[in-house]
Chains A and B, each alone.
Chain A
Amino acid sequence: MRGILSAGAYVPHFRLDRSTIAAVAGSGGGRGTRTVASFDEDTTTMGFEAARLALRSAPGAPAPDALWFSTVTPAYVDKTNATTIHAALRLDDDVAAFDFGGSQRSAAGALRSALAGSGTTLVVAADIRTGLPGSGDEATGGDAGSALLVGDGDSVIAECIGAASATEEFVDRWRSPGAERSKLWEERFGETRYLPLGERAFQAALKSAELSPEQVDRLIVTSLHGRAANAIANRLGVPTENLVDNRAATIGNTGAAHPGLLLTAALESTGPGKVIALLVLADGADVLLFRTTEAIGSYRPARTIDDQAAGGGPVAYGKFLSWRKMLTVEPPRRPEPNRPSSSAAGRALDWKYGFVGRADPDSGAPQMPPLPSGSDAVPMADVPGTIVTYTVDHLVYSESPPVIFAIVDFDGGGRLPIEMTDVAEADVAAGVRVEMTFRKLFTSDDIHNYFWKARLLKEAS
């Protein structure tokens, strides 16, 4: 039996209230909120956070032997981003790590390929969606990461029972590499392409699984072409009430991450023996059919999408624009940091990417950072801690000042002065519980300086 062993999605902390857009941009916006990756997040860090949750949700599952990462907005080109996630997850060096890029369809394709392949593959996707101020893409988009662990065995929670694709070349949505926004053809044109493609692929997939449309218990439809996605959902013969909420009202459309995110949401709310259909409309149509297994009854997600969607905090539209480089604000009058040294970073791989300390030879307490005397590796990335004291630094260089910095004592020993993120000053105090999160401290000479920060602890549900 091959299918999904576990699933996780990462919903970033910040929410943009769409109703605040029009006052600045003159138009656009709408109701509800969209998620916003913070200034210190990118698709790599969000992909990692999702992957971490997926692995945490399946403690007994086999370790992945490959990591595939899909995004439309990679932190790097030419350099593989999956290797950063690989390092932060501390996967063995014989685990392959590949990027799938370019379009939303690559994410669907990576998932389909993993399900059609062999071994255990961690299929990760993340996206940061935006557009020009006031645009539809800006308002309807969202930022997130998602991860699905694909493999074999009795612990599969959703068996893949069918798949089909339909492909057609047409120019509906396009973006030059590096451009800040996508451009769109008249919406009606794309709709006339997507509807027949989606119907064809859906019917082919059902046929391969010997199912009829009414046997589909949960239908997921996702596309950056919102009009086509809405229209096709009513044309497939699946009962309307079986349609999975596309999270447009709270999260937004998270592009490459969205198929995995919605599938994760469905898996988090579906019992055994149910058929889930995933239809992705992106330069064609891709359909995957799953049947949940008995194993899903005992499956416990580490952190559900519902919990994450219910949390979070607001970000002002101006700050959102500055984070997306749509609004250039006065930088701090401090020297910009130097680029991190690749060779020094390579020597500190475990510490920098994995947040691994070393045991002090006398006390056994974790050295953070490790000292030359350090002995055994002490992984600290998943160890929560408590704020001893903190400060707010209005002077230091930051892409989004001020910097909130805390002295954190970790459960079981170890202390580190560390920057806080995703937090308002009012929420920080001595005694507050925190957890570690993988972030981008700054970018210098186009090198992203990844390391860890502390955020308020989100207790497991």
Chain B
Amino acid sequence: MGSHGIRDRVAIISVGCTPFGEHWDLSADDLMVQAVNETLAPVGLTKQDIDAYWLGTAQRSCGITLAKPLELEGKPVSRVENFCATGSEALRQASYAVASGAYDIAMAVGVEKVKDAGYQGLPATQPPNDGTVRNLTAAAMYSMIAPAYAKKYGVGESEIRDALSHVATKNHYNGARNPLAQFKREVSKEQVEKAPKMAGTLGVFDCAGVADGGAAAIVVRAEDAAQYTDKPLYIKALSLVAGNGSGLQDPNYDYTTFPEVVDSCEDAYAQAGITDPRGQLAMAEVHDCFTPTEMVLMEDLGFAERGTAWKEILAGTYDLGGELPVNPDGGLKSFGHPVGASGLRMIFECWLQLRGEAPEQRRLGNDRKLALTHNLGGYPGEMVSFVSILGSELG
């Protein structure tokens, strides 16, 4: 028994991403077709050249959801869902299918059409149940992080507030340099802090936006990658952990860490052979659904010592020109969160940055060869966590 990973056995040869936003004029079908076509075109493949598809979407069921708008002929399409890590799950399945030898070329597609519901926020649907299921927004659950963190590490309320505001202004700064982002504007610390409260001390600018979007990636065996591109990204690690919800029942859980993230991260680092993430990674795309989430992730992913993330954030460690840029594309903060697409949107930024193709305004200031994506779904105490490591070189 063991988690061995598929380090350097599978390569990403193309990634595409639609603009994210309130696409009142685009359907989920439109977004899928657009994402797929943008991904196929650069490598000269057609939809029928893809041997198998994995579709990540939270709201729609079954493979026909993709086969129909693409008008695929006789292709296997699996629809996968894993909370907000759905897009990453699609990539994970497609990659393992190629690594197994079952298929030569596979595509992961992620899409979400959120803005047709008529309500703000992510639509949450539950199967029929006994009515005792907790009724609380994600914002409320994540709003418990900051006070718990402040208490545990003896950090003042205003210092924590400064750090959270910095996460928001940093990600919006980056998003302002990204034509695909939903919000392409910088925001000031004052704007962040004066925004109306959504839950606890979290204001509007502490929360990710809500957007529609699609993204896709094509994977092949590493040895075949050169047929399609001279700059593939190699999959170094894929790790997923589904929590058992014990954090909600365990009096020892203190809301300052996400054990599922720690577990998936350790597994991913072992697969990829990473020992010093802060020194080895060129960048990280992390799941900044709420500003406190990003703060805690810096520690759970090993980017900061426990109790120090707030200081590192304020010191600019994770800024675009910092030691380890985090969310250089603007993150969920700037992109919104079309559930099925977000994980692949993160991959898209790694694709651009590690290949040196990101717009100059937000290009990384380092020449490291590894990038990390982190995608989670659920709540503190009860979540799924996904970590990938991608690299521009073998070995």
- Give me the interface of A with B, judged by CB distance under 8 Å: 333-335, 337-338, 340-341, 344-345, 347-348, 351-352, 365, 367-369, 388-398, 403, 405, 407, 409, 413-419, 430, 441, 449-451
Contact = CB atoms under 8 A, between A and B. Distances in A.
B132 A416 contact: no
B199 A393 contact: yes
A414 B136 contact: no
Given A333-B119, A335-B123, A394-B199, A344 B129 contact: yes
19 contacts: A334-B120, A334-B121, A335-B123, A337-B135, A340-B130, A340-B131, A352-B132, A369-B132, A389-B255, A393-B137, A393-B139, A396-B137, A397-B135, A403-B136, A407-B144, A414-B249, A418-B134, A441-B131, A450-B131
Contact of A441 (B135, B139, B197): B135
A368 B147 CA distance: 24
Given A333-B119, A389-B255, A415-B248, A395 B140 contact: yes
Contacts of B144: 389-391, 407
B200 interface: yes
A417 B136 contact: yes
A415 B129 CA distance: 21
Nearest to B135: A396
A200 B129 CA distance: 55
A395 B249 contact: no
A234 B339 CA distance: 73
B140 to A, nearest CB: 4
Contact of A333 (B120, B129, B255): B120
Contacts of B143: 391
Nearest to B138: A395
Nearest to A396: B137
Contact of A449 (B119, B123, B131, B251): B131
A395 B147 contact: no
A439 to B, nearest CB: 12
B199 A391 contact: yes
B130 A395 contact: no
Nearest to A402: B199
Contacts of B73: none
A376 B141 CA distance: 30
A79 B128 CA distance: 21
Contacts of A394: 197-199
A5 to B, nearest CB: 33
Given A367-B249, A395-B140, A416-B249, A389 B132 contact: no
Which applies to chain A's interface (DSSP): helix, strand, loop or mixed?
mixed
B322 to A, nearest CB: 31
Given A395-B140, A451-B132, A416 B126 contact: no
A451 B131 contact: yes
Nearest to B247: A415
A415 B139 contact: no
A450 B132 CA distance: 8
Interface string B151-164: 10000000000000
Given A394-B198, A419-B135, A338 B128 contact: yes
Task: Report the 10 A-B pairs with minimum CB-CB distance, sorted nearest first.
Answer: A340-B131, A393-B140, A341-B128, A449-B131, A391-B200, A348-B130, A344-B130, A391-B143, A345-B130, A395-B137
B117 interface: yes
Interface in B236-293: 248-251, 253, 255
A114 B44 CA distance: 86
B274 to A, nearest CB: 33
A376 to B, nearest CB: 16
B169 to A, nearest CB: 23
Contact of A389 (B147, B249, B250): B147
Contact of B251 (A395, A396, A409): A409
Contacts of A414: 249, 251
B148 interface: yes
B326 to A, nearest CB: 25
B199 A395 contact: yes
A335 B117 contact: yes
B80 to A, nearest CB: 24
Contacts of B200: 391-392
Contacts of A417: 134, 136, 141, 248, 381
A395 B137 CA distance: 7
A340 B128 CA distance: 7
Contacts of B197: 392, 394
Contact of B136 (A351, A388, A393): A393
Given A344-B129, A348-B130, A449-B131, A368 B140 contact: no
Given A340-B128, A396-B140, A449-B131, 16 more contacts: A335-B124, A341-B128, A389-B144, A389-B148, A391-B140, A391-B200, A392-B199, A395-B121, A395-B137, A396-B137, A397-B135, A413-B251, A415-B250, A415-B253, A417-B381, A418-B134
Interface string B169-189: 000000000000000000000
Nearest to A406: B144
Contacts of B120: 333-334, 395
Contacts of A415: 248-251, 253
Contacts of B117: 335
Nearest to B145: A389
A334 B135 contact: no
A306 B317 CA distance: 61
Contacts of B147: 389, 430
Given A394-B199, A407-B144, A348 B134 contact: no
Which residue among B117, B199, B381 has the maximum number of chain A CB atoms within 10 Å of its CB? B199
A357 to B, nearest CB: 9
Contacts of A409: 251
B201 to A, nearest CB: 9
Contacts of A344: 128-131
B214 to A, nearest CB: 24
B130 A352 contact: yes
A340 B147 CA distance: 34
B119 A334 contact: yes
B284 to A, nearest CB: 28
A344 B132 CA distance: 10
Contacts of A347: 130
A430 B254 CA distance: 12
A392 B141 CA distance: 10
A242 B151 CA distance: 57
A405 B380 CA distance: 14
Contacts of A396: 135-137, 140
Interface in B96-121: 117, 119-121
A338 B126 CA distance: 9
B119 A403 contact: no
Contact of B135 (A333, A365, A367, A403): A403
